[in-house]
Each structure stands twice: as structure tokens, then as C-alpha cells.
Amino acid sequence: MLMRHCMMALRAARSQTSMNITRNPQNNFLHRFHSSKAPAIGIVDYDVVKKLHSEPEKLLIDVREPEELKETGQIPASINIPLGVVSQELAASEQLFKSKYGREKPKADTEIIFHCKIGKRSLKAAEAATALGFRNVKNYEGSWLDWAKREGLPK
């Protein structure tokens, strides 16, 4: 008899817990953890990037390899941080970042725009920056090929 009451109490407790999670999922830690969304990565176009030379509070990062820049050049006002080290560099100290790039290290809410040759590596860099806690991250999808075409430069 005691065993039967224990089993009934256990079933009731399980049922109540299950209903509480279903009815009120924000109370469930695992639900909150898995449901949290990373900030969306914005998309910019040529017109936005063209104006960046007059907006020094924004940061344009070219994630191509230095050899690529030697062949093609780079977008004015951009700094070069290759994709392979972008996470490391964005996580560096403010002093180290400034000494390497001649700019203040971006804050969590600084607008950071990434570009590469066609927009694929820059998307990966944007995702890495978002994972580091940067909240205002954008990708220039057209990247160098779009810029070069519109500016009449070699691709």
C-alpha cells in the first residue's frame, strides 16, 4: 500500500513538473539556453560602404589574406584582419588592437562591417564576431567584386 502511494505521488510530481515546463517554458533553464538567439547579422551594400570614409565610428574589416590585397587593393577606410585570426584579434586587448591597426578596438555595440572577395569569408567573420559578443555586425555581401565593379577597378 505504501509503495502504491509513493508511485502515485511520483507520477503526480512528474506530471506537474512536465506541465509547468510546457505551460511556462521560460522557467526552464534548458529551454532558455537553447532558445536564446544570437544577434542577427545585418547586410550592407555598396552605397553604405561608400559612405564609410566619413563615418570613422564604424569599422570596415577586410578578411582577405594580405597577398590578395597586394593584387587588388582594398576598400578605403578598411583594415585587414584575415579570417584565420579575426577572432583572436577582436579578442585582443585594446592597447594591442590599437597598436596593430591604428584604430580603437571596437566596443560590443560598434558597427562592424566585414567584407572579403565574394562575401562568404566575411559572413564567417561576422558570425565569429557575433559569437564574441559584438551586437552590431554586418556583412557586405557583394564584397570586393561588387566594389571593384562599381569603382572600375581590377577584380
Cβ neighbours of 122 (radius 10 Å): 27
6 is an active site residue: no
Please tell me the distance from the alpha carbon of residue 120 to that of residue 69, in angstroms, as a whole number: 17
Given 116, 123, 125, 126, the catalytic residue: 116
Q: Is-contact 46 142, C-beta < 8 A?
A: yes
Q: Give the residue from 60, 66, 99, 64 showing the smallest Cα distance to 78.
A: 60
**Active site residue ranges:** 116
